Amino acid sequence: MTNLAESEHVTVPPRRVPGQPDMWLFVLFEAMLFTGYFSVYLALRTQNEDLFLQSQADLDLRVGVFNTIVLLSSSWAVARCVRAARAGQYRSAMTFAAATVGFGVVFAIFKVGEWIHEIRLGNTFTSSEFFQHYYFLTSLHLIHVLIGFIVLGVLIYQLRSPLRRSQELVETCATYWHTVDFLWVMIFAMLYIVR
């Protein structure tokens, strides 16, 4: 369908969907689910604002900001990896894929460190309504990060042998990882910033 439309202007480089369109369905659907969780959180929050604010004061914004920047960097790295793979520079693509995994690991370590810190402060899953949502959203997101490691493993496996190297699969994996990133961007705003 799109090809027909595009063939009229030959000068423009062909527009194409990055990765499998199937993955885009997942991205939008999963993000919609998270939007559902956020909506519930925001609506409940307004019912009991002071309690939420009180608990929220225990979060350290610096860790959140650091983690956001780490994930943004990982997203940047995987975007570079896709460009490099497209240009046929597989060595460089591998480096960027490894960097993505590295950023992801740093994120996970700081996330778990933050949990341990909060638990030491006495803020557990059952201690307050805000922390219910905090642990729920962050752990569900961390599960996405862990699945992301499997996905990045698939990406690296694709890049390693000249026999495989399907650009479509590389882009599909990258799309998943960006989803992990932008979900965190929203979770970060929801948990740390919203007043």
Partner 1 sequence: MRDKSTKRLLIVWAILTALTLVYVWLDHTTDANGTLHASSVVTVSAIAIALIKVRIIFREFMEVRGAPAWLCRLTDGWVVVVAACLLGSYFIGSAVA
Partner 2 sequence: MSTATTLPDAPEFPGGSRLQRFAWNVRHHPKRELWFAWYVMVVFYNLYGVLFFLVTRVQPPPSPDWDTPLVVQWFDEHHLGLLTGFGVVFLISGMCAPMNALLAYSMWRMSVSRVFAYSYLIMYSLAALPGMLVMAIAMTVGALRADRDPELIVWMYDFAFLSFSGTMGVFLVGSVVWLVAILLDKNNVFPKWFAYLGLCNALTEVVVAPAWIFQRGAFAWNGAIAWWINMVVFILYTAAFIVLLRRMIEREDFGTGPLPDPAAKAEPVKAAR
139 belongs to the binding site for partner 1 (CB under 8 A): no
Selection from partner 2, partner 1, none that 2 binds (CB < 5 to 8 A by kind) is partner 1
Beta-carbon count within 10 A of 126 CB: 8
Site string for partner 2, 29-48 (x = CB under 8 A): xx--x--xx--xx--x----
Selection from partner 1, partner 2, none that 68 binds (CB < 5 to 8 A by kind) is partner 1
How far apart are the C-alpha atoms of 176 and 1, rounded to whole Å? 25
49 belongs to the binding site for partner 1 (CB under 8 A): yes
Of 20, 35, 15, 17, which is closest to residue 176 (Cα–Cα)? 20
Per CB under 8 A, contacts with partner 1 among 66-95 are: 68-69, 72-73, 75-76, 78-80, 82-83, 87
Angle at 134 between CA 111 and CA 75, to 5 degrees: 45
For partner 1 (CB under 8 A), the number of binding residues is 56
Of 150, 152, 149, 148, which is closest to residue 160 (Cα–Cα)? 152
How far apart are the C-alpha atoms of 45 and 15, rounded to whole Å? 43
140 belongs to the binding site for partner 2 (CB under 8 A): yes
Beta-carbon count within 10 A of 161 CB: 9
Selection from partner 1, partner 2, none that 194 binds (CB < 5 to 8 A by kind) is partner 1
136 belongs to the binding site for partner 2 (CB under 8 A): yes
24 belongs to the binding site for partner 1 (CB under 8 A): yes
Distances (CA, A) of 114 to 8, 50, 121, 145: 55, 23, 11, 16
How far apart are the C-alpha atoms of 51 and 59, rounded to whole Å? 14
How far apart are the C-alpha atoms of 162 and 127, rounded to whole Å? 53
Of residues 42 and 150, the one with the C-beta less far from partner 1: 42
Of residues 21 and 113, the one with the C-beta less far from partner 2: 21
Binding site for partner 1 (CB under 8 A): 2, 13, 15-18, 24, 28, 31-32, 35-36, 38-40, 42-47, 49-50, 53-54, 56-57, 61, 65, 68-69, 72-73, 75-76, 78-80, 82-83, 87, 171, 174-175, 178, 181-182, 185-186, 188-190, 192-195
